[in-house]
Structure 1
Amino acid sequence: MEKAKINGWQFFILIFLFELGTAIVINPGLDAKKDAWLAVLIGLIIGLIYFLVYFALYRFYPNLTLIGYAKEILGRYLGFSIGIVYLCYFLYIAVRDLRDFGELLTASTYNYTPLFVIHAIMVLTVAFVIRYGIEVLARTGEIFFSLLMLVGVVGTTMVFISSRMDLNKLLPVLENGWGPVLSTVPLTYTFPFGEMIVFTMLLPYLNRPQIAIRVGWTGMGLSGMLLIWVMIMDITILGVEIAARSTFPMLAAIGLVDIAGVFQRLDVAVVMTLMIGGFFKIAIFFYAALISAAELFTVPTYKKLILPFSIIILIASMTVASSSVDHNKEGLEIVTYYIALPVQVGLPFLLIMTAVIRKRFNPR
């Protein structure tokens, strides 16, 4: 780890931008139809509860990352294996987020730009920023947070003025019972709230450890409320059937906003939101992978790994799926159940239970 510290405000901004990431555009949970907002709300509540597990592990080992205390809890060899799992996970999700970013830009704005070029520009930008460390990334977040809030306020105001929203499209609530909602919750939890597991790699950088839970819950709560609002907006503008079939519902919904034929094409606000959120989400997963690898393989500084990891992420983002359809299907059917849940829920639960038992029988 580098010798750096970030304050509570910067930590909050990183969480807020990270949670929005690509989720604000893709909108998980539409399988629950009209009750998609309820599925996101339940996913948020579970995420807030499970953040307590991450916080408890951090308080047990305040100077260690997830990789460090995995070896302390499970022993050198098993802990090293767990560390490899998380290293691969951080890299893989960075690859998937980069592909999400590229797919939206090529589908909405840069129709004739090769996907590889878009990915390369994003990877180079991310690599340039994280080369200067977590403090620079956090200060960059402060700048873009203000811009994102301005875009959000303007966009929301335009949506209200256009009178495109029809709240009756949300009724009746729970028309098909709790079944569709609960079956969708694993997706709405793992993406994006369960991905907070990556912040176990950043918690040691917080300058005041005692505020971690308050800052974490605030960042997750506010971003979760915003995701719920966007979900409601998509359904009430497009209708649930069109929203569920759309690859990027928010882009389609905002594209319909037209105020007196003057204010149109607000989809540029969606693209800007994705670029900001996508940048920070990719950057945080990329950075977590770098410091994980540096700690696992005792590399003196993570900066030596930036170039090889950039090449890996760039190439993998082009080969992870043959098309956007396959990419989305893989995320819904494979990643959620066979990768995300074990890594975000199963392994942290194993670590906290083992740590509690060890602390009980050996308080020192």
Structure 2
Amino acid sequence: MSTNQKKCQNCDQFYDQDFKFCPHCGQKANDELTIGVLFYNTISNYFSFDARFLKSFLPLVFKPGHLAMEFIKGKRLLYLHPAQMYLFISVIFFFVISFSTRELVSQANKFNEQVVSAQSEEELIKENSKVVLDSVQLEKVFKPLKENQEKLGLKDEDFQIADSIIKNANNERNMVKSEWGFDKKRIDSMIASGSGKESIYKEMGMSDNAGFLERRLFANLLNLIEGSGAGGMVQAFFDSIPIAMFFLLPLFAFILKIFYFNKGTYAHHLVFSFYFFSFLFTVFAILFALNRFVFPIPDGIDWLVALSTYFYFLFALMKFYGQHWFLTWIKSGVITFIFTIFIIPTSFALLLAFSFLFY
């Protein structure tokens, strides 16, 4: 063994001490641990924040379709991997909007409490405004009429009908009409008396053999009645968006595969989708950050920037798939229409249902 060799601290292999990196594992020869090294390694290992990201960012923003085309050609190490770029930028995006999410959660909780309070006050006003006539009061009302029965031409049947109408009206006033579909006054009374939740669920209408989803439905409905559920539902909705995106992105790639079935494998369309969604997250992260931390941008400019993402999509398709601009324009319009009119609203509805059931 040559005397000018040293042992790698990572893989225990020997190499020339003049080498700056181990030829076996790639670790830096002089890897003294400092705060700077620790910070850089953490970022680069988990988010791939290195020179490849800096080389990839400008083409991502200003050269639609360029990164995807280069990656397909085989330049896999020059630019950041599409999945890594998507992950890194999406983390930044959701971090930026998390500040607004907290405000929305707080506002939702306050709104929920105000609604419950307003409903309670409305029921109290109705309760105090009831005019309930008992048998004694009815007799006082009918007495002068009966004394002048012959003069007024009234029959005994007329008094029976009037008595029946008044009693029915009293019964209707005594019934608490609930917008929830059940007797909310009774539910409030059971909550105040500390009744068990199972009893409350049954009073609300839960079936005896309720499954998991039905039980969750009534449990969260009870939280809304108590004024503590809206904020959790909003938080769950935003927490579910990153998960939903991992389903929407492959679905978007599948739509591309349908329209460009002879333009490569599904993996090619998936690469394009990763970079395109990374661009979308970049644009909207910048908009959110500017509006939140710098100055409020006029709504007209926000909409223009959002609209510009369609033209980016159009140029990216032309660059990546190499078809005529007119045909690409038609395909891009149809793809955008399908995704925004059918896919996104359906996903939005599913997220709302998921958020209500599992917050």
Q: Give TM-score, length-normalised by structure 2.
A: 0.24
Please tell me whether Structure 1 or Structure 2 has the larger radius of gyration of its CA atoms.
2
Structure number with the higher helix fraction is 1
Greater relative contact order, per chain length (Cα 8 Å cut-off, separation 6+): 1
